[in-house]
Amino acid sequence: MHAIRRVIASDNSCLFNAVGYCCEKSLRESTRLRKVIVDAIRADPATFDEAFLGKAPTEYADWISKPNSWGGQVELFILAKALRVEIAAYDIQTERCDVYGQDADYEDRIMVIYDGLHYDSIVLNPSSIGADVEKDVSRVPASTPALASVAALVRSQHAAKKFTDTANFSLRCLVCQKGLTGQAEAVAHAKSTGHANFGEY
């Protein structure tokens, strides 16, 4: 089996749709999965407090429920538990893999890949070019030997520089057109203005 990167639309719901594709073979799960996040935060304020979330739980829940809000580590942590599946998140720039839910003895693993701004799904396919999506295997045993082909895919994406250096890249706020440098400036701008749509330039 060959590891294939299945491209997910860049619509600010890429993490949710990447997870949805891996779990359900559906690209229409983002609304449902956002609700999973909101419900988890509201049900367990002791765990999901301001220190964990980076903002007040009610504020975070309101924010992540909006379709233009990006998901990240918090969402992967919650979704692994809610869906009872390991989620292996591969970072192209560093080639690091963080596995959410790894200590919970879940039988299956799904895989996503992150380029610094965007999440796609990783699947296994009998074809080296993954021509037939109907043959995608998106849930695998957590210890499958095919994970070596996934590591090779991540290395090849890194070598081809298929990532964005979020510390130093140039962004423009698509709401007010302000130029920004790096993720830190984008986050600060979003917090001060409420603007959440950015484009790289």
Which 8-state DSSP code applies to residue 54? Answer: S
Residues 83 and 177 reside in one and the same domain: no
Within 10 A of 176 (CB to CB), how many other CB atoms are there?
Answer: 10
Which candidate in 2, 91, 98, 195 is catalytic?
A: 195
Which candidate in 23, 118, 136, 173 is catalytic?
A: 118
Residues 154 and 177 reside in one and the same domain: no
* pLDDT of res. 162: 87
Residues 81 and 111 reside in one and the same domain: yes
Active site residue 195: yes
39 located within any domain? yes
C-beta contacts of 58-63 below 8 A and 24+ residues apart: 61/37
Active site residue 14: yes
- Domain interval for residue 196: 170-200
Residues 192 and 95 reside in one and the same domain: no
Active site residue 2: no
Judge whether residue 35 has pLDDT over 90.
Answer: yes
Residues 97 and 32 reside in one and the same domain: yes
* pLDDT of res. 166: 64
pTM of the model: 0.81
DSSP string, 83-103: HTSEEEEEETTT--EEEETGG
Percentage of the chain surpassing pLDDT 90? 65
Residues 82 and 20 reside in one and the same domain: yes
pLDDT digits (tens, 9 = 90+) for 104-162: 989 999 999 999 889 999 999 998 888 899 999 999 998 777 788 999 999 999 999 88
* pLDDT of res. 106: 93
Distance separating alpha carbons of residues 133 and 104, to the nearest angstrom = 30
139 located within any domain? yes
Structure tokens at 177: 């057109």
Residues 136 and 186 reside in one and the same domain: no
* pLDDT of res. 186: 81
* pLDDT of res. 200: 67
87 located within any domain? yes
Number of domains in the chain: 2
Residues 114 and 50 reside in one and the same domain: yes
pLDDT digits (tens, 9 = 90+) for 59-99: 999 999 999 898 999 999 999 999 999 999 999 999 999 99
164 located within any domain? no
Active site residue 118: yes
138 located within any domain? yes
Structure tokens at 63: 């924010």
Structure tokens at 164: 């964005």
